Amino acid sequence: MSEQRTILITGAGGFLGRLLAETLLKDPQTIDARLVLVDIVAPKAPQGANAIAVKADLTDPSQADGLFQTSYGVPDIVYCLHGIMSRGAEDNFDLGLKVNFDAVRSVLESARRFGTNTSQPLKFIFASSLAVYGGSLPNVVTPDTIATPQGAYGAEKLMCEILINEYTRRGFVDGRILRLPTIVVRPGPPAAATSSFLSGIIREPLKGVPTTCPIGNSLSSPELDLAVWIASPETTIQNFLNAARIPSSSFMLHSRVVCLPGITVTVREELEALEKVGGKEALRLVEFQDDETNRRIVSSWPARFDNGYALSLGFLVDEGGMAPIVERFKKVVAAGLA
Ligand SMILES: NC(=O)c1ccc[n+]([C@@H]2O[C@H](COP(=O)([O-])OP(=O)(O)OC[C@H]3O[C@@H](n4cnc5c(N)ncnc54)[C@H](O)[C@@H]3O)[C@@H](O)[C@H]2O)c1
């Protein structure tokens, strides 16, 4: 059954924000939802949708209140997805701090001010990242693993998490914090993320475009055994929808943080899946140029997580390894959406 709700998405013009808006409008439970889509560049509302597109720079605190005062009223659910990616936040510390922390705090504070007048606190769903982990880590990250970020992006995400947990404890919002794996395959131009090549080595060859893999110097390099923690866009977006449906009482008592389920793949396995789906001609489009800095940063991220808690809450995991993910992306390419 569909419920008429108002759903606010910040970063709605981005990769996941756009996909989320489209998926919400197809899902039977949210097909009638009214969407407030916000981005620094005016986002496009999906055709025929009940949607308001708002152009707002959320680093300006005065702009956040307006998102809760549209003709659709106070949102029932906020998806807080705006952000500057890992490399961007590392290279421009001040901008990263403003967008990834200050602007999240503004939206959260507006949600508190406007949301507490409603019968129940609004759901505040936040896209965090595995980049909150760094330094010395166990082989498998569990819900008990302490997050010690080793970069600006991860530090900013962790600060947001702490604030959202506190706002939840106080009943200001009903927070749900999703630590995302790296999402592969991302369409469009390369993102300002150190992990960008994990999508690039699939996306560009399937589009018939040469690309450079910054890990290893040839197909036989041992560096290609570098393992990473990924999830597909489709599964991630389903998990965004699930995040709004989980009863508050199901979460751990002291934290709303959930590491979304992912799978471990090596760079080599990605290339094998590329060959399987795209053939030898696709694989030939991948050149190698080992970038020691890039390899060091990606190697510092955890590649294995215990999915148990997230699965017990009802979140989904990609089945079948890398090949089905690449198969689905091939259809995105064929549809001209890559
Ligand atoms: N894609 C991934 O692999 C991944 C992994 C972990 C976490 N995340 C997180 O998920 C969220 C969405 O990721 P994405 O891949 O869609 O990113 P994206 O870069 O495609 O989208 C982010 C959007 O935020 C907007 N934005 C930036 N500054 C803004 C500002 N000042 N005011 C308003 N909007 C602003 C951008 O214009 C962009 O459209 C981000 O918070 C990201 O940190 C993504």
Sequence spans of domains, the chain? 6-181+232-259, 196-229+263-304+319-334
pLDDT of residue 1: 46
Q: Are both 6-181+232-259 and 196-229+263-304+319-334 of the same fold? A: no
pLDDT of residue 123: 97
H or E element, residue 123: strand 123-129
Contact in structure between 257 and 179 (CB atoms under 8 Å): yes
pLDDT tens for each residue of 211-225: 999 999 999 999 999
| β-pair type (77-80, 51-55) | unpaired
Tens of pLDDT, residue by residue, the chain (338 residues): 445 799 999 999 999 999 999 999 999 999 999 999 999 998 988 887 899 999 999 999 899 999 999 999 999 999 999 999 888 898 899 999 999 999 999 999 999 999 876 678 999 999 999 999 999 999 999 999 999 998 899 999 999 999 999 999 999 999 999 999 999 999 998 877 888 999 999 999 999 999 999 999 999 999 999 999 999 999 999 999 999 999 999 999 899 999 999 999 999 999 999 999 999 999 999 999 999 988 888 888 899 999 999 999 999 999 999 999 999 999 999 999 99
pLDDT of residue 3: 54
Ligand 1 pocket member 15 (CB < 6 A)? yes
pLDDT of residue 127: 98
Q: Is 153 one of the annotated active-site residues of the chain?
A: yes
Residue nearest to atom 15 of ligand 1 (CA): 15
Residue nearest to atom 29 of ligand 1 (CA): 40
pLDDT tens for each residue of 123-158: 999 999 999 999 999 999 999 999 999 889 999 999
Q: Which of 67, 82, 63, 61 is nearest to 35 (CA)?
A: 67
Rounded CA gap, 18 and 22, in Å? Answer: 6
* Correct CATH for 6-181+232-259 of 3.40.50.720, 3.40.50.10580, 3.90.1140.10, 3.40.630.10: 3.40.50.720
Can you list the alpha helix ranges (DSSP code H) found in the chain?
15-24, 86-91, 93-97, 103-115, 152-169, 196-206, 233-245, 267-283, 292-299, 308-313, 322-334
What is the torsion angle, in degrees rounded to the nearest 10, for the CA atoms of residue 18, residue 120, residue 59 and residue 146? -90
Phi first, then psi: give them for residue 227, nearest 5 degrees.
Answer: -100, 145
Active-site annotation holder among 72, 79, 133, 153? 153
| Class (C level, CATH) for 196-229+263-304+319-334 | alpha beta
Rounded CA gap, 179 and 174, in Å? Answer: 17
Distance of CA 281 from the midpoint of ligand 1 (Å): 33
Rounded CA gap, 100 and 32, in Å? Answer: 30
pLDDT of residue 120: 86
pLDDT of residue 175: 98
Chain position carrying tokens 């597909």: 232
First to last CA, the chain: 32
Ligand 1 pocket member 25 (CB < 6 A)? no
Ligand 1 pocket member 14 (CB < 6 A)? yes
